[in-house]
Amino acid sequence: MIRIKCPFCGERDHSEFTYGGDASIVYPALDASAEEWHDAVFLRENIRGMQSETWHHVNGCRMWLVVQRDTVTHEIRSVRPAHEATAKLFAASEEEVA
C-alpha cells in the first residue's frame, strides 16, 4: 500500500489518486515532427529506483502533484504541487501558518 501525503489534504491512501506518469518528460514544441512526438509519448524509461511522477488527487482536492517515489520500495521522498503558481501559493500559505 502506498500512502501519499497530499500538501493540501494530508496523508491519504493511493487509491484516492490517479497515476499521471513520469514527471520528468519534456514534451516537444507543438510543431515538432511526428517522430519527436512519438518518442516523447511512447518511449519511456523503466526506472528502478527514485522516480519523479505526477499523481492526480482525483478523490480529494483534485490537485496535480509531483511525487518523488522509489519504484522498488515505494518510499516517497517528497510531494509538491505540480504547477508553479499553485506551489507558490502553497508555500506562501505555509509561511503564514508558521
Residues near Zn ion (CB under 5 A): 6, 8-9, 57, 60-61
Closest CA to 54 of 80, 15, 93: 80
**Cβ at position 8, least distance to Zn ion in Å:** 4
Nearest residue (CB) to Zn ion, 39 versus 94: 94
| Residue recorded with cell 505540480 | 82
**Cβ at position 58, least distance to Zn ion in Å:** 9
Work out the angle at residue 48's Cα, subtended by the Cα atoms of residues 6 and 76, and round it to the nearest 5 degrees.
Answer: 20
Nearest residue (CB) to Zn ion, 20 versus 40: 20
C-alpha cell recorded at residue 80: 509538491
Nearest residue (CB) to Zn ion, 57 versus 69: 57
Write out the DSSP string of 1-37: --EEEETTTEEEEGGGSEEEEETT--PPPTTS-HHHH
**Cβ at position 77, least distance to Zn ion in Å:** 18
